[in-house]
Chain A
């Protein structure tokens, strides 16, 4: 029996043998099979829902019944350009830009220190410090900020104690950013946005700076560049893909958020809140869909500008 079994296995290879031969001889097969499920997920769930969103934006609702009318119209897109809605879009974009700028300004030095100076335990602790806020609930942190920023809150109490109350009052009396207290001013909204997205900006910048070879910085100094020149001509350009990645996070997260400005701020609306109200309270799903395309367009323009500025050249 055993003598017959040997040639038999040689003549008829098992299914797994044939499968592995097939995979070996067709190099594209295995990667193709592996990528198929995520590709389906991405195609159907991501792009599909985005496309249905786009399609919805062309519909409208019946004024009386509130039912969705499935006729193509551009009414929603025209409505976006009404003064009120345009105001919301511009305010959201301005907020996103300033939050992004502040996140980069605060995050870059931290990222630089983490990548080039911190070693061993110090570096691990810095990582934990940057990531730690992400381990707790977003809402908990948001309401904690509400307490910190309130009129009788910790920040105002400390400033009063050190005799800097006049500074806070001065800042809050400024037009546009000011308000009755930090928690009821766009400045407060800005502070919380910066706090929330900072880890998402620090980490990609840190990764980009870590990839810069030390010899490139030495070469720059060797060729006569002062530290400030090395920073401008070598470090910043080579960190740019990380800065761009981080800024995409902070920019798009700010642009789409509807909870932070709801809890902290002077109740002027941001894009996310308008979308939220249109689909919830007003029940105008088509208009909500149209308005939610605004951040997509704005981010598209943002990326296009970043690319034109050469932000991805060092990739």
Chain B
């Protein structure tokens, strides 16, 4: 599989007030052609800076960036064969929607009739055929999002960069856009590089995910791998709910120095064969399941997700916890 975007030991250092801040620190990354790749991390972890360096809005302090094998490290944004969907959409307020979508064709000197026909096709693609003559201010957030998408796609980039594009939408719309973006990416067969801090979004859409923490990539893996076999404590805790154990508690319960058990792999049961027992400290209802906070020996708390259909013990009751050997995932040094 050929490479769409490659980052070789890329760092980005910002100077502010005499202090140097390493926003991105020695990142190696390879996004394959046709792949939905997500940069996931908390705010300030360097994921957006990384995306901006691929787009050309921020220049790396060191390292090289290749797009489709070509070194673009020092190229300006307009020379790069990628397009971006901005977090605030960045639609041009003084232009109609049609002119917005046709913009990149217009600056490349494509004839008006041709580019407007193409822009209408793109508006059809994002299912907004009737807004061509309106201004951005007259559209809803979700509609603007689609226009930004159409505008970024009109010149058929091989790589599309998306900077938290769903952040401003409400939950229902966000979920709908997630599946639409995913199917659009499959249909167009181009690479999407998607920045988000939302792990649900990352897990449900991506082919692979790179998890950022403090300017570094902690792990690059498929969603399933990332969830089942996180490389570090940070990844385990950032992606999904996790019982991360370390020290004495970890050794007695799991036999490892540091280990993780996902809450849904813990079952309630009888005393015989139980791994441990404890008191229910709190219960949370999530619709599909109950999450129990069980205070076990040595002051540790374990989360256990039990199906909503089964009965749950009340707060203060004692219970016994079971899990299979395979449920325990040993973590590397944190």
A residues with CB within 8 A of B: 213, 215-216, 218-226, 229, 233-234, 237-238, 313-314
Contacts and interface: CB of A to CB of B under 8 A. Distances in A.
B103 interface: yes
Interface in B68-116: 76-78, 82-84, 86-88, 90-94, 103-104, 106-108
B107 A225 contact: yes
6 contacts: A216-B90, A220-B92, A221-B78, A224-B78, A224-B155, A237-B94
A227 to B, nearest CB: 8
- Report, nearest first, the 7 A-B pairs whose CB atoms are least far apart: A223-B104, A215-B90, A219-B90, A221-B77, A225-B107, A314-B94, A222-B84
Contacts of B106: 233
B208 interface: no
Given A222-B78, A224-B155, A314-B94, A215 B88 contact: yes
A313 B96 CA distance: 11
A8 B54 CA distance: 74
Nearest to A216: B90
Nearest to A234: B92
Contact of A226 (B78, B82, B90, B152): B78
Q: Which range contains the number of B residues in contact with the other chain?
A: 20 to 34
Contacts of B104: 223-225
A229 B94 contact: no
B223 interface: no
B55 A224 contact: no
A221 B231 CA distance: 38
Contact of A223 (B57, B83, B93): B83
Given A216-B91, A224-B155, 13 more contacts: A215-B88, A219-B84, A219-B92, A220-B107, A221-B57, A221-B77, A222-B55, A222-B77, A222-B84, A223-B83, A223-B155, A225-B107, A226-B78
Contacts of B78: 221-226
Interface in B120-153: 151-152
A193 to B, nearest CB: 31
Contact of B107 (A213, A224, A237, A238): A224
Contacts of A229: 107
A223 B88 contact: no
A175 B93 CA distance: 46
Contact of A213 (B76, B82, B88): B88
Nearest to A237: B94
Counting chain B CB atoms within 10 Å of each CB, the highest count among A218, A223, A224, A229 belongs to A223
Contacts of A225: 78, 103-104, 107
A233 to B, nearest CB: 7
A221 B90 CA distance: 12
Contact of A220 (B103, B108, B155): B103
A305 to B, nearest CB: 19
A246 to B, nearest CB: 18
A119 to B, nearest CB: 11
B225 to A, nearest CB: 32
Contacts of B93: 216, 238, 314
Nearest to A218: B57
